[in-house]
Amino acid sequence: MLLVCGIISALSYRNDISNDLISALERLEYRGYDSAGIAYLDNGNELKRIRTVGKVQQLKEAVEKANVKSHIGIGHTRWATHGKVTEFNAHPHVTDGVAVVHNGIIENYQDLRKRLISEGYTFESETDTEVIAKLVASHIKTGKTFLDAFKCAIAEFTGTFAIVAIYEKEPSLLLGAKRGSPMAVGISPDKQSAYIASDAVALSTLVDELVYLEEGDIVVVKKDAQLSYEIFDASGSCTNRQVVQNKVSLNDVTKNGYETFMLKEIFEEAAVARRTYERFNYDTEVAKYDNISIIACGTSYYAGVLSKYWIEEIAKVHVDVEIASEFRYRKPVMRKNSLYIFISQSGETIDTLCAMRLVKEAGMKTLALVNVDTSSIAREADYIVKIEAGVEVGVASTKAFVAQTLSLLIMCAGKSAVHIDDIEHSINSILNGNYDFAGLANKLKDSRCLFYIGRGTSYPIALEGALKIKELSYISAEGYPSGEIKHGPIAIIDENVYTIALAPFDQYFEKTVSNTQEILARNGKVLLITTEDARASLHGLDENANVECVFLPKCETLYYPFALTTTIHLLAYHTAKAKGYDVDKPRNLAKSVTVE
């Protein structure tokens, strides 16, 4: 498996592009944060490189120390795939004056590496990226121009990737290629600088308008009398791609007074729900299908699991929910008159994208529920429903989950049947309520492992709660249907294990409470998250020394998942904080998974 890294590159009339590269890498850090680096041509057009292991801050300090003056450069923040986290493996990779950065994977790199070794090249890293620099350099050696050498090299690669390259003998040329991984190009409003980057977040504050490359495109950025770029499509023909506004604002990519992006994004959940509701104007008519299949990964998958309860109950349509990485590799039977819904915050998750391609090949209708409407999944689907979460920078998805689930509820119930005031109020009552989530997190943080349990629509929230705890606090946490605990997992329960039971006062309340009794009988500890109207029905449970209770405000049963979502997000946040971890950049993760 491989996660996307971040790319930025610049060609300018100015001599200070290192500032732009570093500020963009800071914004891109959520893409990968094992190591980072830049390569640039100095005033004498000599290729220089600075790489550091760790966060972008380390690179920033090294670049400041080196007093970089440059008009052209490329930068990268890495999430390790091929090769460990070392300076040698960090990008850019450099050979004979060619420097490259790369997202994605070169699948045939072993064969190319052998060939290049036989041509006399020696490799200093364990990465697939180094073959790119060497292959371009080897084509230049045969007399080709930088552009022709780049094109020849790209044609030899298999896999999915986004690549940017510079060459010290052609100091006014910046080249990029896109296959599978996203890439965008734009020129600054003052026409002084041009940039190629892996996403609009990198380009925010740098360009107002940008162009997203299409599959197989090569972009050539040139500096002559003026800055310009040309795009060549997969067949090599010069082409035009649509210019779009860069919708990412400074507010989207700054913490705005919050300590972390994750906290800022949790505190946006009520506003995101309101915005998603107000802008929702899709006629999706789920009830006209005989079957709905929902395919996604991670948190997006859990949004799908929640919607199954709603769609089957409200629209009375059968729903399957599948993990994309499994769906795409089995031989799924596609049913007639089915709608296939692909949920993805980023719109770039490769397993979800490939599952969608499989469904399209079978002639089925596909709907993308995405946050990024310029993403690959959005572009390839038959229908798009865009959620209005805004840019999500925290690696753990939070506000997007709220927008996804709300959109799915509107899709099956109809807009007029969904009371956004109640949902907004319900989320706000958690955000602004007098809850000691930090105190509760202190109790959870030393648990040997955690269970999150729930029934009905609380079960998918339990799954989401457990995922958030494990990815941020590194505590092994499992989401389970309450009724399933005694079919095995209860063996794990002892005095060192906390179970978080999601039990609003709905039709499942009594059952979940009796499951917590089974846990208490085995000396387990319980954090019961319920609602105010359940107090009288607890029968002393809240007085048990091994039980902590949180009472959420009562609301319509249909909307409990929203209050519970904000609650479990805050609990995950505070548990990670209590353990002293970086919530925005949890270890081993990055934001979007663009290669399987």
Residues in contact with ligand F6R by CB under 6 A are 297-300, 344-346, 349, 352, 396-397, 467, 471, 592-593
CA distance 254 to 245: 19
**Residue nearer to ligand F6R on the CB measure, 134 or 470:** 470
CA distance 521 to 530: 20
CA distance 54 to 284: 45
Phi, psi of 440 (to 5 degrees): -65, -40
CB of 315 to ligand F6R, least distance (A): 23
CA distance 114 to 123: 10
CB of 299 to ligand F6R, least distance (A): 3
| Cβ atoms of 100 and 162 closer than 8 Å | no
SS3 452: strand
CB of 212 to ligand F6R, least distance (A): 17
CB of 250 to ligand F6R, least distance (A): 23
Torsion of CA 357, 239, 180, 189, to 10 degrees: -120
CA distance 232 to 43: 30
CB of 473 to ligand F6R, least distance (A): 13
DSSP string covering 307-362: HHHHIIIII--EEEEEEHHHHTTS-PPPPTTEEEEEEESSS--HHHHHHHHHHHHT
Q: How many CA atoms lie within 13 A of 18 on its CB side?
A: 24
**Residue nearer to ligand F6R on the CB measure, 35 or 346:** 346
**Residue nearer to ligand F6R on the CB measure, 193 or 344:** 344
**Residue nearer to ligand F6R on the CB measure, 79 or 229:** 79
Among 462, 461, 464, CA closest to 489: 462
Q: How many CA atoms lie within 13 A of 218 on its CB side?
A: 21
The continuous run of DSSP H or E covering 326 comes out as helix 324-327
CB of 569 to ligand F6R, least distance (A): 10
SS3 451: strand
Pairing status of strand 227-232 against strand 238-239:
antiparallel
CB of 550 to ligand F6R, least distance (A): 22
CA distance 229 to 8: 16
Other beta carbons within 10 angstroms of residue 215's beta carbon come to: 13
**Residue nearer to ligand F6R on the CB measure, 133 or 593:** 593
Torsion of CA 340, 305, 314, 289, to 10 degrees: 10
CA distance 545 to 547: 6
CA distance 35 to 515: 46
CA distance 163 to 152: 14
Helices 560-578, 399-413: inter-axial angle, 10-degree rounding: 170
**Residue nearer to ligand F6R on the CB measure, 342 or 551:** 342
CB of 318 to ligand F6R, least distance (A): 24
CB of 39 to ligand F6R, least distance (A): 29
Matching residue, tokens 């969608």 = 356
SS3 436: coil
**Residue nearer to ligand F6R on the CB measure, 93 or 386:** 386
| Cβ atoms of 510 and 537 closer than 8 Å | yes
**Residue nearer to ligand F6R on the CB measure, 367 or 528:** 367
The letter for the amino acid at 78 is R
**Residue nearer to ligand F6R on the CB measure, 187 or 369:** 369
- Between the two ends of the chain, the Cα-to-Cα distance in Å is 5
Q: Which residues are catalytic?
A: 5, 591
| Cβ atoms of 36 and 25 closer than 8 Å | yes
CB of 561 to ligand F6R, least distance (A): 16
Report the residue number whose CB is nearest to ligand F6R: 298
Fill in the DSSP letter of residue 248: -
**Residue nearer to ligand F6R on the CB measure, 253 or 353:** 353
